[in-house]
Chains A and B, each alone.
Chain A
Amino acid sequence: MSAKKNEGVLGIFSDPDASLKAVRKLKQDGYGDQVEIFAAVPPHGMLDEFDVYRSPVRFFTLIGALTGCAAGFALCIGLALTWNIIVGGKSPAALPPVLVIAFELTILFGGLATVVGLFLNSRLGPPKLHPAYDARFSEDCVGVFVACPREKMGSVEGVLRALGAEEVRVEYA
């Protein structure tokens, strides 16, 4: 995105394939990170243009799950050793029951960390919408927004129109 990330050109496509072609063309033209889409469902192949497999949410899940597992063991073994009852010379910290608690906390912490990862990385939470957002994007249209300085708006608009945008809007910050 450019310094003024809300300033640029928005193309509204009713044909998802056309929007995909537009994104590919704009990336070829060097707009790379400045392109953003708005879609109810991303057109087939669209997310590959944005490298979907590199989401850091996976690290949140992993760290959360490992933390939960460690917390489960620490909680059960720690408390058993702190308030121990020695019966028949056996260790107060029995392993099989600890596994159940550790498993549940692994899942619990992993799930919570996944949601935290989703919210942080997607910047979900504040209900404020992008100025270029249109209600049609949650229904049947795909929006392709290119953040660019004013001098390049004309050429971007041309690309979007040439590749089938039904409506093109210029957004100023």
Chain B
Amino acid sequence: MAAIATPKLGDAFRKINRDILATLDRPKPGYWVLLFFAVSLVGWGAFAFCYQTYWGLGVAGYAPPVMWAVYITNFVFWVGIAHAGTLISAILYLFRAKWRASVNRSAEAMTVFAVMTAGLFPMIHLGRVWKFYYLMPYYPNRLTIWPNFKSPLVWDVFAVSTYFTISSIFLFVGLIPDTASARDRCTDWRKPIYTVLSLGWQGTSVHWRHYNRAYIFLAALATPLVLSVHSVVSWDFAMSIVPGWHTTIFAPYFVAGAIFSGLGMVLTILVPLRKILKMEEYITLDHMEGMAKLVLLTSTIVFYSYLMEFFIAYYCGEPVERASTLFRLFGHYWWATWTMLTCNAIIPLVLWFKSVRRNTIALFIVSIFVNIGMWFERFVIIVTSLSHEYEPAMFRNYSPTWIEYSITAASFAWWGMYFLLFIKFLPAVSIAEYKELIAREAAEAHA
């Protein structure tokens, strides 16, 4: 699976160090343009957020009964995006999937930044953002907040914060040997930073012995966490009695969707990344194909979930549930539902063809459709259900305003800004894991 083929292991190791650490060299003008664009968009989003904070949530298009809308859509979307990193880091590590070695670092970083982005939206959604501190540190009963552990919203706080902590640990621990490599090569102002981040790593037997064990245990802990986080997020909806939400299929449906969208986003960033950083030799077409197969698999699970939702709505004999589903398909938001179905269920079917799976431009286009489709999936679930509940007198459609558009665009820029900084400060491909893969393949060949 590793693409590097050199006669001696030492030469291969030297080349890996040189190539991957070269990505940390001085950026080209295009990088600064992208970073400037991202920071500017974040600034615009910050302005929209300040405007909303001053004037209140009314400027964001919120009106009863649709009091969860684009912000919660964004929250669920970004938590979903975060799922690919830990899937690749933990689950594929335990299954010894060789192709993960080239993509795990980018996916882990993407995960951490995606959770950081998701974490903004509950605060933005509150309107009175200064009340946010009521949610977190005041256990037990303080400030008249009742400690109600039966609420899925409280589970969500625990699940997402645990996920953020464990994902950050995974990223940080994985980076230790690589920052040591950067420390040993670097001669500029970044050397002290790498020295601190590498924590005195020298690759001794003691270091490797405990490191390898710790990594396996972290992977074993993170594996059920990946499955639990989006299950808990899905229960934010499924535990209610809102039509379109109150269904037992939500947990596996959300988990599959999260992995699907996360892998879609990994493809979206890896296709340009491997080109810009000249990493084609490390992030090969085999790696892209491996991810494309997972996208296809999760797409079929998501499609099955859609069909099952429609079937249960028809079969349950509950008129409100049936009306809600018909509203989704043919009502005011039909375009969003059909965008979701087309992007998530139909377009990924082209990945059945090997030629598409190995064509980076085609993969990039499919991944963009997956991202769009998965954002609309959350929009459809949240907005169509709330705007068409039980009481016809309370049916009301929701339209986002410039505030939501700005903050949503800024969230992508916020996430992209961190990713741009990441690829210039830390190795985007795991040096140690790639060397380990080469060494293992050499040992197997020797045997």
Contact of B228 among A44, A104, A115, A128 (CB under 8 A): A104
Known contacts being A36-B205, A125-B200, is A97 close to B150, with CB within 8 Å? Answer: yes
Whether the Cβ atoms of A118 and B210 lie closer than 8 Å is yes
CB nearest neighbor in B for A93: B149
Whether the Cβ atoms of A47 and B212 lie closer than 8 Å is yes
Instruction: Give 1 or 0 for each of A40-53: 1 = CB within 8 Å of chain B CB.
Output: 11111011011110
B213 an interface residue at 8 Å Cβ cutoff?
Answer: yes
Whether the Cβ atoms of B10 and A140 lie closer than 8 Å is yes
B155 an interface residue at 8 Å Cβ cutoff?
Answer: yes
Specify which chain A residues have a CB less than 8 angstroms from the CB of B432 in the assembled complex. Answer: 40-41
Query: Once the chains are docked, how many angstroms separate the CA of A37 from the CA of B390?
Result: 70
Q: For residue B21, give the distance in angstroms from its CB to the closest CB of chain A.
A: 9
The number of chain A residues touching the other chain, given as a range, is 35 or more
Query: Once the chains are docked, how many angstroms separate the CA of A76 from the CA of B147?
Result: 8
Whether the Cβ atoms of B221 and A107 lie closer than 8 Å is yes
B169 an interface residue at 8 Å Cβ cutoff?
Answer: yes
**Interface-facing stretch out of A78-86, A146-154, A155-163:** A78-86
Whether the Cβ atoms of A52 and B212 lie closer than 8 Å is yes
Query: Once the chains are docked, how many angstroms separate the CA of A65 from the CA of B183?
Result: 34
Of residues 311 through 350 on chain B, the ones whose CB sits less than 8 Å from some CB of chain A are none
Whether the Cβ atoms of A138 and B181 lie closer than 8 Å is yes
A101 an interface residue at 8 Å Cβ cutoff?
Answer: yes
Whether the Cβ atoms of A82 and B203 lie closer than 8 Å is no
A119 an interface residue at 8 Å Cβ cutoff?
Answer: yes
Query: Once the chains are docked, how many angstroms separate the CA of A16 from the CA of B140?
Result: 57
Of residues 52 through 84 on chain A, the ones whose CB sits less than 8 Å from some CB of chain B are 52, 55, 57-58, 61, 65, 75-76, 79-80, 82-83
A108 an interface residue at 8 Å Cβ cutoff?
Answer: yes
Query: Once the chains are docked, how many angstroms separate the CA of A55 from the CA of B11?
Result: 32
Whether the Cβ atoms of A101 and B205 lie closer than 8 Å is no
Query: Once the chains are docked, how many angstroms separate the CA of A19 from the CA of B199?
Result: 25
Query: Once the chains are docked, how many angstroms separate the CA of A40 from the CA of B438?
Result: 12
A28 an interface residue at 8 Å Cβ cutoff?
Answer: no
A31 an interface residue at 8 Å Cβ cutoff?
Answer: no
Instruction: Give 1 or 0 for each of B156-177: 1 = CB within 8 Å of chain A CB.
Output: 0011011001100100010011
Whether the Cβ atoms of B149 and A108 lie closer than 8 Å is no
Q: For residue A7, give the distance in angstroms from its CB to the closest CB of chain B.
A: 17
Contact of B218 among A15, A76, A98, A111 (CB under 8 A): A111
Whether the Cβ atoms of A82 and B200 lie closer than 8 Å is no
B357 an interface residue at 8 Å Cβ cutoff?
Answer: no
Whether the Cβ atoms of B217 and A61 lie closer than 8 Å is yes
Pick the most buried of B161, B173, B176, B185: most chain A CB atoms within 10 A of its CB: B173
Specify which chain A residues have a CB less than 8 angstroms from the CB of B140 in the assembled complex. Answer: 79, 82-83
Q: What are 5 sample pairs from A and B whose C-beta atoms fall under 8 A apart? A: A97-B155, A104-B155, A118-B210, A126-B200, A137-B203
Not counting A55-B209, A110-B221, A138-B181, a sample of 15 additional A-B residue pairs whose C-beta atoms are within 8 angstroms of each other reads A40-B431, A41-B203, A41-B439, A44-B440, A47-B208, A97-B149, A100-B159, A108-B161, A111-B169, A115-B214, A118-B210, A135-B185, A138-B203, A140-B11, A140-B14
Give 7 nearest A-B pairs by CB, closest first. Answer: A135-B184, A55-B213, A44-B443, A118-B214, A50-B205, A140-B13, A79-B147
